[in-house]
Amino acid sequence: MERTYVMVKPDGVQRNLVGEIISRFEKKGFKIVGLRMLQMDRAIAEKHYGEHIGKPFFEGLVAYITSGPVVAMVLEGKDVVTAVRAMNGATNPANAGSGTIRGDFAIEVSRNVIHGSDSVESANREIAIYFTDKELCAYKKILEDWIYE
């Protein structure tokens, strides 16, 4: 089964959206296989957002993402990378559809509440930043037979 890295950003934590966001992924049928809270520092931010170093918004992004604790998780399921991106909505909440997390809970691109990996390759890279193999749980849920044929 595919895995992806998902993170409730500091604004999501401060705005009491952690439960709502996790609940959406759980209700969809995705399985939480890793979960923790942490405060990111600059080094972790540069690792996570390495592709954006040097862009005009990078310093603001680092200040934002290190401004408070985040909730980091690994979700597992069929085509979960693409599905989570769709559930999160467009990067700029102004373009995110109603019913998506960013569409429903955010207004500005620099306060867009949630992160989701953009590919399986990115997911593997990002998961390794936040979790050791031992911190991820492989387990069977009885409900899976009602979610997958």
> Which runs of consecutive H residues, i.e. helices, occur in 4-139?
10-14, 18-28, 42-48, 58-65, 80-88, 101-105, 120-130
Q: How far is the CB of 131 from ligand DAT (least distance, A)?
A: 19
Residue nearest to Mg ion (CB): 118
* Given the residues 3, 31, 48, 115, the one annotated as active site: 115
115 in catalytic set? yes
Decide whether 97 or 144 has the Cβ nearer to ligand DAT: 97
Cβ atoms < 10 Å from Cβ of 138? 9
Find which of Mg ion, ligand DAT, none residue 57 binds, CB within 5 to 8 Å per kind.
ligand DAT
CA–CA separation, 41 and 98 (whole Å): 32
Exactly one of 2, 20, 104, 118 binds ligand DAT (CB under 6 A); that residue is 118
Cβ atoms < 10 Å from Cβ of 139? 7
Q: Does 110 bind ligand DAT (CB under 6 A)?
A: yes
Cβ atoms < 10 Å from Cβ of 38? 12
Listed ranges 8-16, 33-41, 97-105, 116-124: which one lies at the site for Mg ion (CB under 5 A): 116-124
Q: Does 115 bind ligand DAT (CB under 6 A)?
A: yes
Listed ranges 30-38, 70-78, 104-112, 128-136: which one lies at the site for ligand DAT (CB under 6 A): 104-112
Which of 86, 88, 87, 120 has its CA nearest to residue 2?
A: 120
Which positions lie near Mg ion, rule CB under 5 A?
118
